[in-house]
Amino acid sequence: MGCYHAPKWRAKELLTKNTNNLPTAAAPPPPPRVLVVGAGVGGLAAAIRLAADGAAVRVVEERSHVGGNLRQCAVPHPVRPSPAGGEDRPFRFDTGPTALALPYVFMDLFAAAGEDVRDHLPIVQIDPIVRYVWPDGMRFDFRADQRNLRDELTRLWPHDVDGFFRLLDDGRRFWAQLEPQIGMPHDADGAVQTVRRLVSLVRAGQGARFSRLLARRISSPRLREAINHFVGNVDASADRASRAAMLWIAHYHGLWHITGGMHRLAEQLERIARKLGVQIDTNRSPDMAGPDADVTVLATESGPPRESGGAVMLGIEGLCPQLVHHNVFFGEPDRPAIAVYAPTRTDSSLAPEGCETLVVRATLRGDQVVDILGTTGGLTDLRRRIVVTPQVRVEPSPRAMPGPRANAIVIPRPDLDSEDPALMAFSALRATSDLLPRRS
């Protein structure tokens, strides 16, 4: 008996019916839509992490640029002819933060995006971290290497060596308490957990004043002056013992310079974000972004920036071997300290060959700064060597906040230093860490 074969049309009909009766796999849900308000370092870091986890991310920024305060001004040498066949390097001035702390934050962030940070951001450790100079010529280099730092302290203040390293250990303990709180809203886990956190901080000694802790550890007035300047202890509101953590972070993790200028961090964060499909819109008010987002991340600057005085930018002919990357010149009691940022001592690409780029921060007029640096700083011919003094217009921080939005997350400012790029990124990543399920 022969095998029965259905006509082709009948076989096709049966196949269609059988297929229609089979259970169909559910279509994958669309990716969650996230709106990030603010394209500073924190906003870009959050956008990268969320996009890497599968979200459809859009970033809106009121200003015309990304990166917040991470900007650079380039000015050509006014009289030096360009070399044959090419252009002379310009003077390049960073207008924001002058160093990078906690580089591992960006190592982890780039790795989450499938990138190696070393391919994008070459960094150089800054050593000495800071050089402090007093009017009588006394000089203290806060060295990155522990052995060199101990030798420097022994040379100047042998009776304070042990106290200084005890202060560093205080900072280590405070950081262990502070690190889990970065990026956590004050009421994130309810009143009970908030009280428990406050109790743990008091037990760790963070409720005390930094000035009292410093007086207990250090006896030399000048070493106290240098430490106070480093941690930014400029008013009573900043007088918290936990600021010793800043000293420990700089000593243990180091401070780092990004070759080519600190603004390259913003450039590379934007590049990685766009590569992951993040839509970035500048010159856009947050209220113009539309309501079509499942979650809104508010990464705008919430609160007044730290006052740092005026900034004078100087492009000068010739080198300044008496300077290091960061310099602080203390004056008489009636004159504030002058901070001189000389990145070309670490990275010569930031100025024409044989020149220096200086950014001076002080609450003094520019001519006063030049005169004082000529005496205290040893730059006796500084006025004659100045070739450019650019004036940079800094766009104000965004003031507008978006109207009420459902499912909004606010990225809190880091308590230790709200201007440090790594701490800003750390806070943003922590605040958004549980927003989406991690990819397996």
Whether 11 maps to a domain, the answer reads: no
- At residue 417, the pLDDT reads 61
Cα distance between residue 186 and residue 191, in whole Å: 9
Tell me: do 225 and 286 sit in the same domain.
Answer: no
What CATH number does residue 70 fall under? 3.50.50.60
pLDDT of residue 238: 56
Cα(154)–Cα(167) distance, integer angstroms? 16
Q: Is residue 326 part of a domain?
A: yes
Q: Which of 228, 250, 272 is the last residue of a domain?
A: 250
Cα Rg, the chain, nearest whole Å: 27
Q: Is residue 153 part of a domain?
A: no
* 45 inside domain: yes
pTM: 0.84
End-to-end CA distance of the chain: 57
pLDDT number for residue 300: 74
Task: Give every CB contact of residue 88 below 8 A, 6+ residues apart in sequence.
Answer: 76, 77, 80, 81, 82, 352, 353
Specify whether 136 is located in the same domain as 271: yes
Residue 261: φ, ψ to 5°: 120, 150
Residue 150 falls inside a structural domain: no
Report how far residue 5's alpha carbon sits from residue 11's, in angstroms, rounded to the nearest whole number: 9
Instruction: Identify whether residues 418 and 274 lie together within a single domain.
Output: yes
| Residue 125 sits in the same domain as residue 270 | yes
What is the per-residue pLDDT for 162? Answer: 98
* Position 26 in a domain: no
- The reported pLDDT for the residue numbered 112 is 93
Q: Which pairs from 111-120 meet CB under 8 Å and 24+ separation?
A: 112/48, 112/49, 112/52, 113/48, 113/51, 113/52, 113/272, 113/275, 113/276, 114/52, 115/272, 120/268, 120/271, 120/272
How would you write the pLDDT of the chain (440 residues) with one tens digit per residue?
444 344 443 444 434 445 555 565 666 778 889 999 999 999 999 999 999 999 999 999 999 999 988 999 999 998 876 655 566 789 999 988 999 999 999 999 999 999 999 999 999 999 999 999 998 889 999 999 999 999 999 999 999 999 999 999 999 998 888 888 787 764 444 444 444 444 454 444 444 688 889 999 999 999 999 999 998 844 444 557 778 888 999 999 999 999 999 999 999 999 999 999 999 999 988 776 666 788 889 887 544 444 444 688 999 999 999 999 999 999 877 778 899 999 999 999 999 999 999 999 887 777 778 888 887 777 888 889 999 998 866 555 555 455 555 578 888 777 666 578 998 899 899 888 887 765 54
Q: Are residues 225 and 183 in the same domain?
A: yes
Assigned domain for 94 exists: yes
Within this chain, do residues 258 and 378 fall inside the same structural domain, yes or no? Answer: yes
Q: For residue 178, is it within any domain?
A: yes
Q: What residue type is assigned to position 55 of the chain? A: A
285 and 136 within one domain: yes
Look up the domain containing 230 and give its range.
164-250
Domain endpoint, select from 223, 250, 277: 250
Query: Looking at the structure, do residues 169 and 207 belong to the same domain, yes or no?
Result: yes
Among candidate residues 250, 267, 302, the one where a domain is terminated: 250
Query: pLDDT at position 279, please?
Result: 96
Q: Are residues 335 and 383 in the same domain?
A: yes
Model pLDDT, residue 309: 46
Q: Quick one: 333 and 375 in the same domain?
A: yes
Q: Residue 239 contacts by C-beta under 8 Å, 6 or more apart in sequence?
A: 209, 210, 211, 233
Same domain? For 261 and 117 the reply is yes
Same domain, residue pair 425 and 364: yes
Confidence at residue 7, expressed as pLDDT on a 0 to 100 scale: 42
- Number of folded domains in the chain? 2
